[in-house]
Amino acid sequence: MSNPNLDASTNHSTEGESKLVDALVERSRKAMLEFSTADQARVDEVVTAVAWSLYKPENARRLAELSVKDTGIGNVPDKITKNQRKTFGALRDLMRVKTRGVIERDSARGIVKYGKPVGVVGAITPSTNPAATPVNKTMMALKGGNAIVIAPSPAGWTSTNATVETMRQALTRVGAPVDLIQILPQPVSRSMTRLLMEKVDLIVATGSQNNVRSAYRSGTPAIGVGAGNVPVIIDSTAVLDDAAEKICASKSFDNATSCSSENSLIILDDVYDSAIEALKRAGGYLTNDEEKKKIKDQLWVGGKLNRNLIATDADVFASRVGLGEGAEDARFFMVKEQSFDPHSPFADEKLSLVLTVYRAQDFDQAVSLVTGILNVQGRGHSCGIHTNDIDHARRLAEEIDVVRVLVNQAHTFGNGGSFDNALNFTLSMGCGTWGGNSIAENLNYRHFINTTHLVTTIAEDKPSEQDLFGAYFEKYGRD
């Protein structure tokens, strides 16, 4: 039997939250209406102002420091780099495209395309990137002429709120409606976030898979991202020291908070010992069996990752786990698995500076290991390879169910867009239907606009019956 007092309290709370969310969305729509007359140049000016609000060195540092203090996740220098690099790269991408008015003409096909806003965007953002992700999504939303309401992780509310206030100040500076950017107030609850998802026009969810699934169940058009658990191969042709340096830089960046951070390394047998030595030179610490057990016993508590160990500095991790001499000077920690066990926690994402290492007899086994690891978690997300044999990379692209295969790159820096690859800069990686997502690419401006097609007639394009059915008739007849 239900408690009537509890029910009344819950209903009252939900009613209050509903009114609050309604007010936020209404202010968003008014701001959008005011912004609707902005031409492309004005839109780009506003997007640039928001980008500068985080890229500005003192702001990038202040918000990085607050993010680490707020969440206890990652480290300040790398958060600064992330705040600036992702914002700069995204701004580069956005300044090269049109989203207002005529965005494309195809005279030969009689098609003219017009870009228009999708409406009010509800953005679910994670505690791992409480500054960079909200700004990244906001830039894309504003580029399409939309307003955005951010629903942050409760653990990152303080730093995300400070980021939103900084962006709103940037809007004021350029005379744009400040309510184009808003945030759910404290305390952020599941019910309030759910109400927001039901009332906006588009949801963009980054973070836990529970958030993503909730977004898809909301009844509102939603874009979610999949879980990471990146496996990377070092094959017999790789330049080992180069591969090791890139793996170290990627794995250790922001204490492995990125979903694109390497979680497993698969090394071919004939270069295994040399590759391990290269990884040690780059800053890796190879654990022994006793240390491996300590990590297993402490990194997972009750089947869940231990918040006291995830995304901590290497010396802190080594000290808390009780690793041996020299571990505190390392940049990441290697744990050897003698064989692949899908039930081992080391086959899963670790959100820490722990890298699982497998030894593959040949490339066939390496490919099989990649598939097995991604079937544990991360299917659809990405994998990588260090190689001088492009056919090996092509084989991964042909056989592995991922959206991205990175070749000879530091995975964390390349997967979400880089200045030396053509992926869009983003902090939200779509994983296709393999990862339970509606997009199979990096989140980008195209996901924040609707397109109207103006269609005029062209010379008739109608093939003959023989053109279309001829080969079939010849092989199977007309019966």
Q: Which pLDDT tens digit goes with each residue over 280-319? A: 999 999 999 999 999 999 999 999 999 999 999 999 999 9
Phi/psi at 393 (5° precision)? -65, -40
Catalytically active residues are 259
pLDDT-above-90 percentage for the chain: 95
84, 173, 180, 392 from 166: Cα distances, Å: 15, 11, 13, 46
Determine the pLDDT at residue 5. 32
Rounded distance between C-alpha atoms, residue 7 and residue 26, angstroms: 28
Task: Give the CA radius of gyration of the chain.
Answer: 25
Determine the pLDDT at residue 208. 82
Asked if the peptide bond before residue 187 counts as cis, ω within 30 degrees of 0, the response is: yes
pLDDT digits (tens, 9 = 90+) for 228-279: 999 999 999 999 999 999 999 999 999 999 999 999 999 999 999 999 999 9
Rounded distance between C-alpha atoms, residue 264 and residue 252, angstroms: 14
Place of tokens 């509102």: 220
Which tokens in the block code for residue 251?
């794995």
Which tokens in the block code for residue 55?
């890229």
pLDDT digits (tens, 9 = 90+) for 46-92: 999 999 999 999 999 999 999 999 999 999 999 999 999 999 999 99
For the chain, the average pLDDT equals 95
Rounded distance between C-alpha atoms, residue 138 and residue 117, angstroms: 13
Rounded distance between C-alpha atoms, residue 357 and residue 336, angstroms: 5
- Those residues whose C-beta lies under 8 Å from the C-beta of residue 230, and which sit 6 or more positions away, are 260, 261, 262, 263, 264, 378, 381, 382, 383, 384, 411, 415
- Sorted by where each starts, the structural domains of the chain and their CATH numbers stand as 15-225+443-454 (3.40.605.10), 230-423 (3.40.309.10)
Q: What is the DSSP string of 124-184?
A: EE-SSSTTHHHHHHHHHHHHTT-EEEEEE-GGGHHHHHHHHHHHHHHHHHTT--GGGEEEP
3-class DSSP assignment, residue 91: helix
Q: What average pLDDT does the segment 79-106 reach?
A: 98
pLDDT digits (tens, 9 = 90+) for 388-438: 999 999 999 999 999 999 999 999 999 999 999 999 999 999 999 999 999
Rounded distance between C-alpha atoms, residue 249 and residue 477, angstroms: 61
- How sure is the predictor about 211, in pLDDT bands with cuts at 50, 70 and 90? confident
